[in-house]
Copies of this chain bind each other. A is one copy, B any other.
Amino acid sequence: MSEVFNFSAGPAVLPAPVLEQAQQELRDWQGSGMSVMEMSHRGSHFMSIAGQAEADLRTLLSVPDDYRVLFLQGGATSQFAMVPMNLLRGRQSADYINTGAWSKKAIAEAGRYCTVNVAATAEASGFTDIPARDTWQTDAGAAYLHYTPNETIGGVEFDWIPDTGDVPLVADMSSTILSRPLDVSRFGLIYAGAQKNIGPAGLTVVIVRDGLLGDMLDGAPTMYNYRLHADAGSMLNTPPTFGWYLAGLVFRWLLGLGGLASIEVINRRKAGRLYEAIDASDFYHSPVAPGCRSLMNVPFTLADSSLDGDFLTVAEAAGLLNLKGHRSVGGMRASIYNAMPEAGVAALVDFMREFERTRG
């Protein structure tokens, strides 16, 4: 294996010790004679794997007892419909904050089920900033308020949790969950596709306050009903067992590092180093306002965009992979999730300096 650093926005790099363990026990999980993939989801082996994963996630996030943790399928895109279907509870409208590409997708899908009140939008800034809380036009009768704490494409991240009073707060945490400690009690519902900070694609984690569940939009498919999943322990049908197991290994790895306070220190160090290199140079530029730069997804541009292709080619040859920005915004993007080692960021910064020296 040639050493590479994979800056993909997702599916993304996984912790090396997790992949090592998964490889070691791929054909025989702890002497069972079976791969985890071959186990009945209702058998004692998998039930212990599943239960431990949930317990470890609860420990990491200090999930309060009145919240349910669900291991589902379908990605955040399925949640865009599941959230209104489950949380409207007879109300006609919901508040949404528009901070970029993923906010917009959530808004579009919700608009099929209710009146969406866009309480604030970052459109005027080209989605490079976050509207201050005191500018939000919220609706006290909203069923919930939805926002995207980290925009994976735009690289815009909230470093604060909005206060929404009695209106349940709903967050698409796909690209920021587990990157730092979180006060779950501030939220009504949190969801996250696994393929950034949790595990492989095909698993979606939902954390929801139990009291919000029970009502359901007429005509919603049975598989979109959180209450039924919660009551069935996420085994309403066969869950994505291997993804659930890998998520459990990731949770264990995080606990071994000291939990979310420890990973936050590392994440701030990684992001700080990269933003510092960008800001110290006229050759590179960060489009995002300093107060809301993502710790996880770092977009940057070259002052001379005609060098973009060259940058990517030389970076790839140096083992720095998937640095191309999303097709909708161009430029570069370095996704530096929990599993990206500090050495990867150091290698990227060194490469950027050297590229500037030879091409600048």
Which residues does A use to contact B, with CB under 8 Å? 1-4, 6, 8-14, 16, 19-20, 22-23, 26-28, 31-35, 37-41, 43, 73-78, 80-82, 85, 109, 112-113, 193, 195, 199-203, 219-224, 236-243, 246, 319, 321-322
User: What are 11 residue pairs bridging A and B, where the CB atoms are less than 8 Å apart in the complex?
Assistant: A4-B33, A11-B40, A14-B38, A33-B321, A73-B74, A74-B74, A77-B237, A112-B222, A195-B238, A201-B239, A220-B221
- CB neighbours (8 Å) of A28 from chain B are 1
- CB neighbours (8 Å) of A113 from chain B are 219
Each complex incorporates copies of this chain amounting to: 2
- CB neighbours (8 Å) of A246 from chain B are 37
Main secondary structure of the interface of A (DSSP, over half): loop
- CB neighbours (8 Å) of A236 from chain B are 77
The chain B residue sitting closest to A43, CB to CB, is B322
Contact B73 A75 (CB under 8 A): yes
- CB neighbours (8 Å) of A35 from chain B are 14, 19
Contact B23 A238 (CB under 8 A): no
Given contacts A12-B38, A73-B202, A202-B203, 18 further A-B contacts (CB under 8 A): A1-B27, A4-B32, A8-B40, A11-B238, A13-B34, A33-B321, A73-B73, A74-B223, A77-B236, A78-B223, A81-B222, A109-B222, A113-B219, A200-B242, A202-B241, A220-B221, A221-B221, A242-B243
Contact A221 B109 (CB under 8 A): yes
- CB neighbours (8 Å) of A20 from chain B are 27
Contact A11 B41 (CB under 8 A): yes
Bound CA–CA A273/B81 (angstroms) = 49
Contact A238 B8 (CB under 8 A): no
Q: Give which listed residue, B193, B200, B238, B241, contacts A193 with CB less than 8 A.
A: B238
Contact A75 B238 (CB under 8 A): yes
Contact A10 B221 (CB under 8 A): no
Contact A9/B242 with A221-B81, A222-B81 known, Cβ cut-off 8 Å: no
- CB neighbours (8 Å) of A13 from chain B are 34, 38
The chain B residue sitting closest to A4, CB to CB, is B33
- CB neighbours (8 Å) of A73 from chain B are 73-75, 78, 202, 240
Bound CA–CA A10/B75 (angstroms) = 23
Contact B77 A319 (CB under 8 A): no
